[in-house]
Structure 1
Amino acid sequence: MQVPQIELIPLRAAICSDVPSDLDVLIRIIPPAPEQDLQRPPLNLCLVIDRSSSMKGRKIDYVRRAACYAVQQLLMTDRVSVVVFDRAVCTLVDSTFAVDKADIIHQIQQIQPGYGTALHAGWQAGAIQVIKHLNSQHLNRVILLSDGFSSVGEKNPYTIATDVYGLAQHGVSTTTMGVGNHYDEDLLTSMARRGNGGYYYIQSPEKLPIIFRTELQDLMATVGHTVSLGIDPQGAVEIEDVLNDLETDQRGRFQLPNLIMGNPMEVVVKLQVPPVPQTTDLCYFRLNWKNPKQEEPQKIWTSLRLPVINSASISEFPPNLEVQQRMLLMMVARVKKEAVRHLDRGDYEMASKLLKDARLQVLNAPQSPLLDKEAQALANLDADLQARQILRLRKQASLETYDITLTNPRILDDSI
């Protein structure tokens, strides 16, 4: 069976023997390529749907259609359950094999809006449905869809995210989908990040079916979950920063999203390296994950070694443009988070300055299609700021930051 590969790309392909070095490294994790005759593990899936009053009209209609689409894609060996919530929680479909799809779809089509948003209780009920049939060799996930803030029951984002993290440690991931401009993006991004799942910002309900399709395709192509990356500097080498802003587990390993066939992940780390007299291992990188088809946890590791030269010759090793680009994107993601913090304090002028300065930095870098897209994204955010479309700005900035800092998974753009 194919296993992931770890590719290490340093900013410069050498280190100094006589002076300390700042060493930036792009860590690319390459899952196996898609297989034509892929036999995916069974799914254990719960759809948790917000049916509060704000979901009236097109939203609830498209939610029903998207959920029905999801059920139609399941195999008879997959499990599915459906939980709906407003001020109260109702388990519409208890976890069952996807055999009588017509009945499940009929239940979904009857969903109607109510009042209130018991988000945490709804998620908990969905988690219980998945846990009842938890199997380490299956892919276990809760998909939460909401267009509002948690207004009933537990509201503390830290408490909710901690519960989601605890569930993820038992092998059940959480994906969150926010619809429109009035949901709590901080809560939903935190739940997805801590829950080892995906996060989607859905500006218009028409996009719901294709986003459900993308989520299911990625889930079905998952070859590893509970993924972590250990970074172990050797000797006097130190970690200065991990630009992705990843969560760490109890062992200090960085938590990564699921391994999805054909979807490489990237992490950028900054190392401080003292003068090194001779070539040696500078840092070990260990990837750990669980394969749904195997009982034992999986792991691979590699080490970073570079030629040693004197500082007068370092200019002979030009910086790698790809690493420079990824570093810039990570730094811009941090600028977006800082701009949002200024927005929350009412300092629109400083938020605009940060976005404009970041865009100028991107435009002055060696150009590429990815940087061209980022420059346009920054321009769009500043245009929203000038038009005082603050809610939309916060959600778009949160999505872009989430996508880049969480190892650059596939981004769903406005063309979808």
Structure 2
Amino acid sequence: MVATATRIRTSFVLGAAAGTVIAALAMTPRGAAFRPSPEETSADGMVVSARFPTRRILPGVQDQNLAVTITAPPAADLSLGRPPLSLAIVIDRSGSMHGPPIENAKAAALSMLRQLDGRDAFAVVTYSSGARTVVAMQRATEAGKAAARAAIETIDDDGGTCISCGLDTAGAELARSPIADGLRRILLISDGQANEGVYDRDELAQLASATAERGASISTVGVGLDFDEATMRRLAEVGRGNYYFVEDTVALSTMFGRELATLSQTVAQDVRLIVRPEQLGGQPVRIAEAYGYPMLRTADGVIVPVADLRAGETRKVVLRLQLAAPRGDELVVAHAEVSWRSVADGTRHRARAAATVDVVDDPAAVAASVDAAATQAVEKALSARALEDAAAAYEHEGLPAAQQVLDRRAQAVRAAASYLDHDTVEALDAASSRARDGFARAPEQAKKAASVDAHELAR
């Protein structure tokens, strides 16, 4: 409760910190911005850049948002076909899944099994007050899938919700996969809140993170309107997977197909962004947070786990830095390194980029140095944060407070609109409008939808 309230107050500070950039945007006519060629580095097909919203900043103590962009190798790397997959489908069978929800979950699992072939392996796990392995990890042969279909049909609903039980059992099944290489993924479905086993959000996140460290990423599916969206989203984030919201379980089969399509195009796994800040004028640069991502502090910086990347996919990570800027040209503020494991051969690779900035006294020079691509990434990240803050404001202070958060963000987007592409402006406006209308009409649904929108915008 206290942590959420603190987060709401923090949003006001972030809004003030963004004022310098917004003022710069307002001072500069459309088309007059300084748009330097992206300072990018490329290694083994992975392209990395690290840029600020303006190429120049004013001196002094301040917050600055750094946009790191990661683009995966192109589809040519998939010439040998998709990688083999070890998949554990984890189905909530607690009492609240009675009737159509459990039947639709079973149908979706069967649909996904039909799309696997002999290259793949799979297991099916259910959980309620405990966990049960319905189908042990095995090759996706026709005989194996036929036996699995019969076993899945026997799943029924009963008991509480022990998410940790399902994750533990799924991890153990994946460890027994007959496939040595390829991708490993847990697909976790829940319609409720963890109330047995490990149910503390931080402890569940630690379990998911440890599972991902062992090579199994986790995608989560929140079903209906009663699940804990904060926990399910966080499990996907620390688990380096995807996060979905399905209000009606009829849509599960479509979502499962989307997940499998994503996996079939994956070229980079166990992706990590390592950011090491420099000192400016003898003062250390501090990384305060990574919007929409978990962040692990190390002795010389931070590590941000990033979900597996599809061929040609671009992922953005925006970090808030606290710094004291002395005057100078081409100051190196931080170093960004992306580390990943190639799906093709299992080898680890690295690509690096440096974030630099000029510190000047002239506000007009700052205004003339807007980087449109970095500004776009930052505006998406700040809009994602606003959706989270609006949900928290609604929970603790009511509808007017939530709408106030969204209105402030809409004003900021309008101020930056000259530097955003049309699709981005429409996407940000649509997400804000959905949340604003949703909190007024159907708040529980709006909270779930805002959580998904925030997850996607931050990336």
TM-score, length basis structure 1: 0.87
Q: Deviations over 1:324-382 (max 9, x none)?
A: 23322222222222222223325332122222332343345416222222222222222
| DSSP-derived class of the 1:181 partner | coil
Measure the CA separation in 1 of the matches of 2:406 and 2:331: 41
Q: How far is the alpha carbon of 1:306 from its aligned partner? A: 5.5
Q: How far is the alpha carbon of 1:145 from its aligned partner? A: 0.6
Q: Deviations over 1:23-81 (max 9, x none)?
A: 54432111012236243332111101112232233322322222112111112121100
Give the corresponding residue for 1:162.
Answer: 206
- 8 Å CA contact 1:178–1:201 kept in 2: the answer is yes
Give the corresponding residue for 1:400.
Answer: 453
2:115 is aligned with what amino acid?
A: Q
Give the corresponding residue for 2:365.
Answer: 314
Shift of the 233–264 alpha-carbon distance from structure 1 to 2, 3 Å rule, reads same
- Unmatched segments (≥5 aa) in structure 1: 409-416
Shift of the 146–313 alpha-carbon distance from structure 1 to 2, 3 Å rule, reads closer
Measure the CA separation in 2 of the matches of 1:20 and 1:89: 52
- 8 Å CA contact 1:136–1:171 kept in 2: the answer is no
Q: How far is the alpha carbon of 1:265 from its aligned partner? A: 0.3
- 8 Å CA contact 1:234–1:281 kept in 2: the answer is yes
- 8 Å CA contact 1:21–1:275 kept in 2: the answer is no
Measure the CA separation in 2 of the matches of 1:315 and 1:394: 38
User: After the TM superposition, which residues 50-89 of structure 1 pair with which residues of structure 2 at under 5 Å, given as runs?
Assistant: 50-89=92-131
Q: Deviations over 1:311-332 (max 9, x none)?
A: 3771573413333233222222
Question: As a proportion of its length, which structure holds more helix?
Answer: 2
| DSSP-derived class of the 2:406 partner | helix
Q: How far is the alpha carbon of 1:277 from its aligned partner? A: 3.8
Does residue 37 (structure 1) correspond to residue 87 (structure 2)? The answer is no
Measure the CA separation in 2 of the matches of 1:261 and 1:119: 32
| DSSP-derived class of the 1:47 partner | strand
Shift of the 278–217 alpha-carbon distance from structure 1 to 2, 3 Å rule, reads same
Measure the CA separation in 2 of the matches of 1:112 and 1:141: 24
Give the corresponding residue for 1:379.
Answer: 433
Give the corresponding residue for 1:303.
Answer: 354
Measure the CA separation in 1 of the matches of 2:64 and 2:428: 25
| DSSP-derived class of the 2:435 partner | helix
Give the corresponding residue for 2:374.
Answer: 323
Measure the CA separation in 2 of the matches of 1:53 and 1:316: 58
Q: How far is the alpha carbon of 1:105 from its aligned partner? A: 2.3
Shift of the 32–398 alpha-carbon distance from structure 1 to 2, 3 Å rule, reads same
Give the corresponding residue for 1:46.
Answer: 88
Does residue 179 (structure 1) correspond to residue 223 (structure 2)? The answer is yes
Measure the CA separation in 2 of the matches of 1:373 and 1:56: 36
Shift of the 313–136 alpha-carbon distance from structure 1 to 2, 3 Å rule, reads farther
- 8 Å CA contact 2:338–2:350 kept in 1: the answer is yes
1:219 is aligned with what amino acid?
A: L
- 8 Å CA contact 1:165–1:195 kept in 2: the answer is yes
- 8 Å CA contact 1:231–1:253 kept in 2: the answer is yes
Of 193-202 and 81-90, deviating more is 81-90
Shift of the 335–391 alpha-carbon distance from structure 1 to 2, 3 Å rule, reads same
**Structure 1 consecutive aligned stretches of length 4 or more whose deviation exceeds 6 Å:** 18-22, 307-310
Does residue 290 (structure 1) correspond to residue 341 (structure 2)? The answer is yes
Measure the CA separation in 2 of the matches of 1:245 and 1:402: 6
Q: How far is the alpha carbon of 1:97 from its aligned partner? A: 0.2
TM-score, length basis structure 2: 0.79
Measure the CA separation in 2 of the matches of 1:250 and 1:315: 31
Measure the CA separation in 1 of the matches of 2:395 and 2:140: 45
Give the corresponding residue for 1:93.
Answer: 135
Q: Deviations over 1:179-237 (max 9, x none)?
A: 11111112211211121111101122232112111111212222222211122233417
Of 315-324 and 196-205, deviating more is 315-324
Does residue 133 (structure 1) correspond to residue 177 (structure 2)? The answer is yes
| DSSP-derived class of the 2:75 partner | coil
| DSSP-derived class of the 1:148 partner | coil
Give the corresponding residue for 1:350.
Answer: 401
Of 372-381 and 36-45, deviating more is 36-45
- 8 Å CA contact 1:359–1:379 kept in 2: the answer is no
- 8 Å CA contact 1:136–1:292 kept in 2: the answer is no
2:373 is aligned with what amino acid?
A: E
Does residue 211 (structure 1) correspond to residue 255 (structure 2)? The answer is yes
Question: As a proportion of its length, which structure holds more strand?
Answer: 2
| DSSP-derived class of the 1:383 partner | helix
Q: How far is the alpha carbon of 1:127 from its aligned partner? A: 1.4
Measure the CA separation in 2 of the matches of 1:171 and 1:135: 13
Shift of the 276–20 alpha-carbon distance from structure 1 to 2, 3 Å rule, reads farther
Q: Aligned residues, how many?
A: 404
- Unmatched segments (≥5 aa) in structure 2: 1-42
Give the corresponding residue for 1:413.
Answer: none
Q: How far is the alpha carbon of 1:274 from its aligned partner? A: 2.6
Q: How far is the alpha carbon of 1:171 from its aligned partner? A: 1.0
- 8 Å CA contact 1:42–1:138 kept in 2: the answer is yes
Q: How far is the alpha carbon of 1:92 from its aligned partner? A: 0.8
Give the corresponding residue for 2:55.
Answer: 13
| DSSP-derived class of the 2:240 partner | coil
Of 292-301 and 94-103, deviating more is 292-301
| DSSP-derived class of the 1:159 partner | helix
Give the corresponding residue for 2:310.
Answer: 260
| DSSP-derived class of the 1:379 partner | helix
Q: Deviations over 1:153-188 (max 9, x none)?
A: 332222222111111111111111011111111221
Shift of the 189–257 alpha-carbon distance from structure 1 to 2, 3 Å rule, reads same
Q: Which has the higher contact order (CA 8 A, sep 6+)?
A: 2
2:293 is aligned with what amino acid?
A: L
